[in-house]
């Protein structure tokens, strides 16, 4: 039962990347009002860093959708556990996610949010595993493309643990 975590993206690299993404979003949404929607729980660390790098008036909201349970691989079914508090009709929305793997979660979330007629709807994902995609999802802001490895830290968990690691690491041997 030996598990170890190999650093994939360091704290410094994360900080630099999040600043870049925040500056890009600030640029893209000049003069517009924004609602940033975080998908709980994985996105909270990235989201809290990202919004402080966005130099615009904005609101935040959260949504919980069912995810992997305690397993490393997806159960395929995506359900809303907790919905938004804000009405997004006519608003500029950015959905923030920790990682996109198969794409099933975000695809479903987008489908649900589109029905509510936001003015615009974009996606920001800190990590992306392009080789694992099962359904196409257009991601507007990506931190890093990573290989097909199970990663933890910076909000990402394995069985709800490791979210507080300040770096992203590859979990080996769980
Ligand atoms: P998707 O629906 O397959 O794109 O899965 C996205 C969700 O799966 C993410 O929000 C994460 O919660 C979880 N996930 C996917 N890959 C990893 C990983 O490498 N580490 C931790 N969680 C992951
Ligand atoms: Mg998640």
Quote the ligand 2 centre to 63 CA distance (angstroms).
10
Distance CA 165, CA 117 (A): 37
Residues 77-122: pLDDT tens digits? Answer: 778 899 999 999 999 999 999 999 999 999 999 999 999 999 999 9
pLDDT of the residue at 138: 94
Read off the pTM: 0.93
Q: Which residues contact 24 (CB under 8 A, 6 or more apart)?
A: 141
CB atoms within 10 A of CB 113: 17
Residues 25-43: pLDDT tens digits? Answer: 999 999 998 999 999 999 9
Check: CB of residue 79 under 8 Å from CB of residue 66.
Answer: yes
Q: Nearest 5°: phi and psi at 42?
A: -60, -30
Distance CA 14, CA 23 (A): 14
Q: What amino acid positions are annotated as catalytic residues?
A: 101
Test site for ligand 1: of 44, 73, 101, most ligand atoms within 8 A of the Cβ: 101
Residues 119-165: pLDDT tens digits? Answer: 999 999 999 999 999 999 999 999 999 999 999 999 999 999 999 99
Instruction: Indicate which atom in ligand 1 lies nearest the CA of residue 74.
Output: 3
Test site for ligand 1: of 44, 46, 72, 98, most ligand atoms within 8 A of the Cβ: 98
The β-bridge relationship of strands 151-152 and 141-145 is unpaired
pLDDT of the residue at 169: 98
For residue 76, pLDDT beyond 90: no
């Amino acid at each position: 039962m030996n598990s170890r975590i190999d650093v994939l993206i360091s704290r410094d690299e994360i900080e630099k990347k999040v600043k870049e993404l925040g500056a890009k979003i600030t640029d893209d949404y000049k003069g517009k009002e924004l609602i940033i929607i975080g998908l709980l729980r994985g996105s909270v660390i990235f989201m809290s860093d990202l919004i402080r790098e966005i130099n615009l008036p904005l609101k935040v909201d959260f949504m919980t959708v069912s995810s992997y349970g305690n397993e490393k691989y997806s159960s395929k079914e995506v359900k809303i556990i907790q919905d938004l508090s804000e009405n997004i009709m006519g608003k500029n929305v950015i959905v923030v996610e920790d990682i996109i793997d198969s794409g099933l979660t975000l695809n479903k979330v987008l489908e649900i949010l589109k029905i509510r007629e936001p003015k615009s709807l974009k996606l920001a994902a800190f990590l992306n595993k392009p080789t694992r995609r099962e359904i196409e999802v257009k991601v507007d802001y990506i931190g890093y493309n990573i290989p097909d490895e199970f990663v933890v830290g910076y909000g990402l968990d394995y069985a709800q643990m490791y979210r507080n690691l300040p770096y992203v690491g590859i979990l080996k041997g769980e």
